Amino acid sequence: MKHTPQGKKLLPLLLASAALTVVPGCGISPAGNAADAMLQASVEGDCERSAGYIDPPSASEAAGRDLTHEDLVEACLYERNTGPLVGQEITDLDDEKDTSSVEVRLTHFQNHQEIFSTRRIALARIDGEWKVLDYFYRLPPEDDGEPTPSG
């Protein structure tokens, strides 16, 4: 079969369409749904929606720097340009009343290959909604205020 450039563009879409798998018997909870929705929005390239599932004050604490919702959207976009998330699978769920921990297997597409990793995502119920407590995305380098040299 001949491979065309269009085929390369379709691969991430095909991977994303097959990405939502839940461990049998694990069930999915409201916290699991929130983590899954955040990840699926990232897979779909909807960084505004994806970042909406993250609590900025908690993410700031985890990242060690102040992060606003807009910073999280920018980080999601940065990640999409450097190795986008193309799939996820919830592999473990540990629910409590107001906190949860979800383990996910992530698939990134980078340098024309799939890269797999496992990550545990902490969540908490904040004002009645489940929010991700981590900054999650790869953060772009901080702007030091210095002008960028032009070539």
Most confident range, picked from 52-56, 75-79, 84-88, 135-139: 52-56
> What are the CA-CA distances from residue 64 to residues 3, 35, 39 (Å)?
44, 22, 22
Model confidence at 49, pLDDT cuts 50, 70, 90, reads: very high
**How confident is the model at residue 83, as a pLDDT?**
79
CATH match for 22-132 among 3.90.76.10, 3.30.1360.200, 3.10.450.50, 3.20.20.100? 3.10.450.50
Summarised one tens digit per residue, pLDDT across range 90-131 is: 888 888 889 999 998 888 888 888 889 898 999 999 999 999
> Can you list the positions of beta strands (E) in 7-98?
21-22, 85-95
Read off the pTM.
0.70
Starting from the edge strand earliest in sequence, which strands make up the sheet with 85-95, in order? 21-22, 85-95, 99-110, 113-126, 129-132
Query: In the numeric block, which tokens belong to residue 109?
Result: 């597409």
